[in-house]
Amino acid sequence: MQKKIQSALISVFYKDGIDAIAKKLHDAGITIYSTGGTQQFLEKEGIPCVAVESLTTYPSILGGRVKTLHPVVFGGILGRRYEEQDLKEMQQYAIPEIDVVIVDLYPFEETLRNTSEEKLIIEKIDIGGPSMIRAAAKNFRDVVVIAAKEDYAALEQLLVDQNCETTLEQRKAFAAKAFQVVMNYDIAINNYFNPDNTAVQTSSAKQVLRYGENPHQQAVFYGDLKELFTQLNGKELSYNNLVDVDAAVQLIGEFATDTNKVFAIIKHTNVCGIAARTSVKESWDAALAGDPESAFGGVLVCNNAIDLATANAINEIFFEVLIAPSFDEDALQVLKSKKNRILLELKAKYTKASSQSKTLLNGILSQGTDEGNFAEWKEVGGRETTAAEKEDLIFANLVCKHLKSNAIALVKNKQLVGKGCGQTSRIDALRHSIEKAKQFKFDLKGAVMASDAFFPFNDCVQIAHVEGVEAIIQPGGSIRDKDSIDYCVEHNLAMVITGLRHFRH
């Protein structure tokens, strides 16, 4: 069903690009209705407009809060041209037909990023804009709605190619986009007022990815990565890259205030190497030594600037992504030698979300993020931990927190020397971690062990002790905690109960 455009309502916050489309409308003899700042901007560009106030007979009131909320405006948008009664009422009340609605929304999310002052944030909750967009989208049989400047070019092309006519399919497609714009806007407002109940997280920024987890799966990322990173080199991030980058950033965030330089290697969201040292190069060497096989094709992350010495060392292996707060210029030149290698500069303002959610079954599952390392530090073994052991235990527990359950982390001198993750039993996770340590020639004498959950039996403690582990950290909570504790007491091993489990499924 072709429809000829004869009138348009334009009311936008951002004026860039609107003059070109308004000029085309005007040149085609289309009447333009407008308000406030938009009207002034267009008239300054030599494009005549009819003030909305001349239709409503009301001025903009309440500091601009009420401008377009009037039956004449919404009647012109919602009036059904195919309903005889609607047309009679529109004629009776002198309501003009409005065929195109071009409206954007107050920058609520941008305001949130730039200020914490509630008064300013509240004033950027748009009322009239979403209402006009929804009204125009609902009446897509007769009205074209443009709710984002990304669609200006598409409308301009239609005006030229189709002589200011649109098809029903085109109007419906614009309506679908418009409803999504309003949905995203409302979700952002909901998340502001309900920060602990953000079950649905989305964004108006949409990035179509090459494919999903596998090549036959389509994928889209909703969000603006530029808020978090400056990409300095490389190809577009893939679905799997994004998942691993998220895991890497969450992990390194645990060491944001660490006085040491921490370097970590992520593979399929699990930590396969991590170490803390006094220099970035030393921390890289130690992290890589933890599992040089798994590091191939991994995602690398550091809490300090990447210098030339480290860049030269990293450059020797294949990796997908490197994340750091900054890069020395000479280091950057070395790392850019591979054009597809993704280099991300993590912005200092990054903060972890307070909640996480995922779709499953026929709904959405939401929870608060796993915050903290330990709720208590309860020494229950045969002796107190030494200062060095305590540092290693704190480090190991954070590493274990970021491994898939069931998980065991073996650490020595703030270096991950063995890990077992994603196992169906805790004892298998321990066996795997010991096997990894032996594969890369680590001596476990004096190492510490972290477990993401309690030990149901004392078998893990016994096996770890035989291999040289002398201090253990675990959340506790088993009805048989005493078995493991008694073994530690009997064999003079240190054990710490934290009271904080770190399952990760």
- Catalytic machinery residues: 138, 268
CA 438 and chain centroid, separation: 38
Give dist(CA 198, CA 301) in Å, integer: 28
The DSSP bridge partners found for residue 321 are 299, 342
Bridge pairing between strands 408-411 and 31-34: unpaired
Q: Where are the beta strands (DSSP E) in 191-337?
A: 206-208, 220-222, 229-233, 261-267, 270-277, 298-302, 319-324
Strand order in the sheet with 378-379: 378-379, 494-497, 471-474, 448-451, 408-411, 416-420
CA 280 and chain centroid, separation: 27
The vertex-75 CA angle with 69 and 81, nearest 5°, equals: 155
C-alpha to C-alpha distances, 491 to 326, 336, 378, 431, 449, nearest whole angstrom: 47, 53, 18, 21, 16
Alpha helices in 116-225 (DSSP H): 118-123, 128-138, 152-161, 168-193
3-state secondary structure of 376: coil
Which residue type occupies 118? Answer: E
Under DSSP, the state recorded for 250 is: H
Give dist(CA 252, CA 240) in Å, integer: 18
To which H or E segment does residue 486 belong?
Answer: helix 481-490
Alpha helices in 139-278 (DSSP H): 152-161, 168-193, 239-253
- Kindly state the tokens that stand for 381: 């073994």
Cβ count near 341 (within 10 Å): 19
Give dist(CA 433, CA 187) in Å, integer: 43
Range 304-309, long-range pairs (CB < 8 A, 24+ positions): 304/261, 304/262, 304/280, 305/280, 306/280, 306/331, 306/332, 306/335, 307/280, 307/281, 307/331, 308/334, 309/280, 309/281
Question: Do the Cβ atoms of 255 and 391 come closer than 8 Å?
Answer: no
Question: How many Cα atoms are found within 13 Å in the side-chain-facing hemisphere of 369?
Answer: 16
Which residue type occupies 70? Answer: H
- Which of 401, 73, 394 lies closest to 250 in space, CA to CA? 401
